[in-house]
């Protein structure tokens, strides 16, 4: 992960040959779609390997209101599976009825994550999970009190002891269990993937043209690369609010107003968009990139007026709609007593 990605290799990749039958072949002879093949397996870190019981425990914690001070909010209240693990609000409301400063990001596909939060202030999912439990505006819970509360639940004491023998209920193990569950939250195969795998009828011609634009004239691939459509980097794309994003963590001027590039899987279900939830539809997002952004010293050099016409804009939207998978419904876990 780098703060400002160089465009070198990709610039070569996106020079499409516009002659011949297909415009999806790059200058170096590759099919553009090859860079978007889904990985076969979920990666788990050596420090916190996958164990089924640990993931199950993590799921219980993710959906347990006892993790919040007022026992009224779960991680799933804001990261709701029905809204592709977001909550359809510009910014969510936390425990003391306080409006949060940023839009809830999805927890989909974070097993491949390199850094967490919009501003990258957490290095691992394990560390990230303990943030919202204690954050004043989110679950507002005191960690010592939470440990006491969970230790008073025999079902939890037993499960933690099974999964973490000799250690039991600790903040670190809460983080490990939740992170393991989160890594299992992966978007399923979408029509786009079927097309990448060779089914020409899986998506419309408009979506195919949109994919090509995404990789060429519209320059989206400069930051939204690979099967999950993110470089995990930080960029200022010229949104109008005053949030300084990554700058607040690193205090590097070039990173003012820079936020982590979100993946684009299941993006239609994830409206509204951006760290401030300021764009309501994918059409508004495309208009923003076309010519709606604010120019300022920290603006990414990849942000230039695109000159897309109405057909091209709707092709891009048609393409993004093919990234939604029909994921199985998530059933809530039975909580221990
Ligand atoms: C009140 C709403 C709310 C609750 C409850 C909540 N979150 Fe979040 N979550 C957010 C918001 C808002 C952000 C973005 C904050 C930021 O980046 O500054 C976030 C960020 C995250 C991220 C980072 C995603 C990324 O792409 O970097 C993860 C992971 C996450 N939350 C998991 C959890 C877990 C686990 C819990 C329960 C322990 C939880 N959240 C509870 C609203 C919430
Ligand atoms: C310079 C890098 C860059 C380029 C180029 C770029 N994006 Fe983004 N994209 C980002 C970043 C960073 C964000 C989050 C910005 C924020 O919230 O401040 C984002 C957010 C989005 C979102 C909203 C995601 C969410 O979870 O809210 C969509 C949709 C999107 N981009 C689509 C596109 C499309 C389509 C293009 C091409 C027309 C494009 N992007 C070009 C970096 C980029």
- The token duo for 222 is 């400069």
Lowest mean pLDDT among 24-28, 151-155, 271-275, 333-337: 24-28
Whether residues 194 and 177 fall in one domain: no
**Domain of residue 212, residue span:** 8-41+189-321
Domain-ending residue, one of 138, 166, 183: 183
Answer yes or no: is 329 within a domain. no
Decide: 77 in ligand 1 pocket, CB within 6 A.
Answer: yes
Q: Which atom belonging to ligand 1 lies closest to the Cα atom of 62?
A: 37
254 shares a domain with 154: no
Q: Which residue has the higher pLDDT, 113 or 328?
A: 113
| 3-class SS of residue 260 | strand
Q: 329 CB contacts (<8 Å, ≥6 apart)?
A: 81
Q: What's the confidence (pLDDT) of residue 282? A: 98
Q: Could you say which of 183, 206, 229 is where a domain stops?
A: 183
Distances (CA, A) of 34 to 62, 145, 173: 35, 50, 39
Pocket lining: 237 vs ligand 2, CB cutoff 6 Å: yes
Rounded to a whole number of angstroms, the distance between the first and last alpha carbons of the chain is: 42
SS3 assignment, position 198: coil
Query: How far apart are alpha carbons 336 and 35 in whole angstroms?
Result: 44
List the catalytic residues.
Answer: 138
Helices (H), 184-300: 191-196, 205-215, 246-250, 282-287
Claim to verify: residue 202 and residue 105 sit in the same structural domain = no
Q: Are 95 and 199 part of one and the same domain? A: no
Using CA positions, which residue lies closest to atom 3 of ligand 1? 78
Between the CA of 258 and the centroid of ligand 1 the distance, in Å, is 18
Do 254 and 162 fall into the same domain? no
Within-domain flag for 208: yes
> Are residues 258 and 290 located together in one domain of the fold?
yes
- Other beta carbons within 10 Å of 285: 22
Whether the predicted pLDDT of 10 surpasses 70 = no
Query: Residue 236 belongs to a domain with what CATH number?
Result: 1.10.760.10
Residue 61 pLDDT: 98
Q: How does the average pLDDT of the chain come out, rounded?
A: 92
User: Do both 166 and 208 map to the same domain?
Assistant: no
217 and 269 co-located in one domain: yes
Please indicate whether residue 61, judged by its CB atom, sits closer than 6 Å to ligand 1.
no
Is residue 135 exposed (0-12), middle (13-18) or buried (19+ Cβ within 10 Å)?
middle
**Total tally of structural domains belonging to the chain:** 2
Residue 80 bridge partners (DSSP): 86
CA 261 / ligand 2 centre spacing (Å): 6
Predicted local confidence at residue 132, as pLDDT: 87
Ligand 1 pocket, residue 117 CB under 6 Å: yes
- Residues 56 and 130 occupy one common structural domain: yes
d(CA 20, CA 317): 26
For residues 261 and 314, membership in a common domain is answered with yes
pLDDT per residue as tens digits for the range 135-155:
878 888 899 999 999 999 999
Distance 116 CA to ligand 1 centre (A): 9
Pocket test for ligand 2, best of 79, 224, 256 (most atoms within 8 A of CB): 224
Q: State the distance from the centre of ligand 1 to the C-alpha of 275, rounded, in angstroms.
A: 12
Domain contains 2? no
């Amino acid at each position: 992960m780098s703060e400002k990605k160089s465009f070198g290799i990709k610039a070569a990749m996106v020079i499409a040959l516009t002659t011949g039958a297909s415009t999806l072949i790059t200058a170096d002879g590759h099919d553009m779609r090859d860079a978007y093949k889904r990985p076969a397996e979920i990666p788990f870190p050596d420090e916190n390997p996958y164990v089924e019981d640990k993931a199950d425990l993590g799921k219980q914690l993710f959906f347990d209101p006892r993790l919040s001070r007022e026992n009224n909010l779960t991680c799933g209240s804001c990261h709701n599976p029905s809204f592709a693990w977001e909550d359809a609000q510009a910014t969510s409301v936390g425990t003391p009825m306080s409006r949060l400063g940023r839009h809830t990001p999805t927890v989909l596909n974070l097993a491949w994550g390199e850094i967490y939060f919009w501003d990258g202030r957490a290095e691992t999912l394990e560390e990230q999970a303990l943030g919202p439990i204690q954050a004043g505006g989110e679950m507002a819970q005191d960690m010592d009190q939470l440990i006491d509360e969970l230790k008073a639940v025999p079902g939890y004491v037993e499960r933690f002891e099974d999964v973490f023998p000799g250690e039991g209920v600790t903040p670190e193990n809460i983080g490990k269990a939740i992170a393991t569950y989160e890594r299992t939250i992966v978007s399923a195969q979408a029509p786009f993937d079927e097309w990448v795998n060779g089914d020409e009828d899986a998506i419309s011609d408009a979506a195919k043209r949109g994919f090509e634009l995404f990789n060429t004239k519209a320059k989206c691939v400069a930051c939204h690369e690979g099967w999950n459509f993110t470089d995990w980097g930080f960029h200022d794309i010229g949104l109008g609010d005053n949030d300084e994003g990554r700058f607040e963590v690193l205090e590097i001027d070039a990173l003012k107003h820079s936020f982590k590039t979100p993946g684009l899987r299941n993006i239609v279900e994830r409206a509204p968009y951006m760290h401030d939830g300021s764009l309501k539809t994918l059409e508004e997002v495309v208009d923003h990139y076309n010519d709606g952004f604010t120019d300022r010293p920290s603006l990414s050099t990849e942000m230039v007026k695109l000159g897309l016409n109405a057909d091209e804009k709707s092709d891009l939207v048609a393409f993004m709609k093919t990234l939604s998978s029909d994921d199985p419904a998530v059933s809530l876990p039975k909580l221990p007593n």
